[in-house]
Amino acid sequence: MKNELTNSKQNGSLAVISNSDADVSRFGMVVAPPISVKQLSSYFDGNFGESPTVCINPDPAYKSSSIVSTVTVGDVPFSRVSMKEATALILLMIQKSNSPHHIVTGNLDHLYRLQTDLEFKKAYETASLVLADGMPIVWLSRILRLNGGDELTERVAGSDLFWELGRISQSHGVRIFLLGGVEGAADGAKEALEKAYPGCDVCGTYCPPFEKFNTQEEQDEILRRVRAASPDILLVAFGAPKQEKWIEANKHHLGVPVSIGVGGSFEMACGIARRAPKIYQQLGLEWAFRLVQDPARLYDRYVRHDLPFLVKLLIRTVADVATGDRSNAQRNRHAFRLGGLK
């Protein structure tokens, strides 16, 4: 059977199914027991076998394994996926969807800003995946597990995702465009990716001039360059929340399947900035390493805002568990938005 994607106007969950088990239902679409996200990621590594079909499944019997479930931390639903599963889903968005998607990589500073920044909040609400970039997010989810909920699978940092996307570019021919960063960072990151993954396709780079960024002329130039390169993935390094807001405002004009804000990943990839050693990352102290490198810029963010916010969030989370409040502990049935299926 030829692989195809089918839309249903019925309300339902996203199901990923194998054609070998497929049948045609009364809804005029292919339905079958769904494969899990883990099986999907195995398929994209070449280990699953037959190409899966994706459809909107109206049957409520297909539940937990048929969607990307989420775990709510600080009122934000984070996608419960591993790095491997996230990259598999990104490939699925590229290959099987005709609508643009964007992905956010959330950390504690984002949660703090989301309290008051409505435009930033909209970028989160419309994201196809919300990845847990910071270890405190993962730790808080583990506390919520004590109340009968699910914990996040692992940290999926934007700086690590950058390299994983280089890997799938090499193996699957995915085209990547690098936008933003300080002068020279995007070109340096391109060289680093091509050295790490020979044959990966970085189809373009551009660092918009800071002084002209907000002019219509410069915005038109950015769109022109991205469209001309025709990438599958656009990595935007304007810093948060600027990059998320820009992506949300422009993704329907870019002609790019997937856009992702990656912060300072270009600078770290090419050596302009140092990333914290692994032990700092594992202990959730990457912020402290960055603070030492740039105290003037980061002191207010990390010390005056984020740390007090973390304490408040920790107290609130523990209180929820102690009182049996399951509103943040239950796994949400929030499917990632794979709209416009072909």
**Percentage of residues in the chain with pLDDT exceeding 90?**
65
- Euclidean distance between CA atoms 190 and 26, whole angstroms: 50
pLDDT of residue 328: 53
pLDDT tens digit sequence for 276-329: 899 998 888 998 999 998 999 999 999 999 999 999 999 999 998 888 766 554
pLDDT of residue 42: 53
Beta pairing partners, 51? none
pLDDT tens digit sequence for 38-75: 555 554 444 433 444 333 333 333 232 223 788 999 99
pLDDT of residue 334: 42
**Percentage of residues in the chain with pLDDT exceeding 70?**
75
Tokens of 145: 């597990």
Cβ neighbourhood burial of 115 (10 Å; 0-12, 13-18, 19+): exposed
Mean pLDDT (whole number) for 142-165: 92
Of 218, 225, 227, the C-alpha closest to 253 is 227
Tokens of 188: 């340096």
Mean pLDDT (whole number) for 185-206: 98
Mean pLDDT (whole number) for 162-187: 97
